[in-house]
């Protein structure tokens, strides 16, 4: 019976030799494809888990600033996923409602050159001792920024 099985197997292999070769090539190709796809998915997952977040903690950026009876503090300048966000709390330190609804946030390099000016929208008038958080976002990283200046809002949009 042992010889019969060997003969049947040899006969089967000779008869279906081409089909067996094709089957083995397909199986090997699938295994290689799965291995390669797993490797690429693993790289994508590791990239997705490591977002690049950069906080600018230079003293000239985070220090408290006063402009027209408004105190700007708790300041942060954070870059994440290609966008930079400037956030600050603004408090009206006067005894009257503030009439300032917008300010320019001028970000400068170490030589005092303007890198970018962001608009800080305060919105409705701040009541005395009222605090509001304002946020400005821009695309790109602001690596060379070392100082900020809060100034009168200059509407540079052209009609």
Q: What whole-number distance in Å separates Cα of residue 118 and Cα of residue 127? A: 24
pLDDT for position 144 = 83
Q: What is the pLDDT of residues 107-149, one digit of tens each?
A: 999 999 999 999 999 999 999 999 999 999 999 888 789 999 9
pLDDT tens, residue by residue, 16-69: 788 888 888 899 999 888 888 777 666 555 555 566 888 888 999 999 999 999
CA distances from 30 to 39, 43, 72, 94, 113 (A): 14, 20, 61, 73, 59
Give 10's pLDDT tier (boundaries 50, 70, 90): confident
Q: Tell me phi and psi for residue 129, to 5 degrees.
A: 65, 10
Nearest residue to 142 via CA among 76, 92, 69:
76
């Amino acid at each position: 019976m042992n010889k019969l099985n060997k003969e049947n197997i040899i006969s089967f292999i000779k008869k279906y030799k081409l089909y067996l070769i094709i089957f083995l090539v397909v199986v090997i190709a699938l295994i290689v494809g799965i291995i390669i796809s797993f490797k690429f998915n693993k790289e994508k997952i590791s990239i997705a888990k490591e977002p690049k977040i950069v906080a600018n903690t230079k003293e000239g950026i985070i220090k408290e600033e006063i402009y027209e009876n408004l105190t700007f503090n708790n300041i942060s300048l954070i870059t994440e996923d290609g966008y930079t966000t400037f956030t600050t709390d603004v408090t009206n330190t006067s005894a009257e409602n503030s009439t300032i609804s917008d300010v320019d946030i001028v970000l400068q390099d170490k030589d005092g050159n303007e890198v970018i000016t962001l608009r800080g929208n305060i919105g409705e008038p701040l009541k005395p001792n009222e605090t509001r958080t304002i946020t400005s976002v821009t695309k790109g990283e602001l690596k060379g920024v070392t100082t900020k200046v809060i100034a009168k809002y200059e509407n540079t949009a052209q009609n």
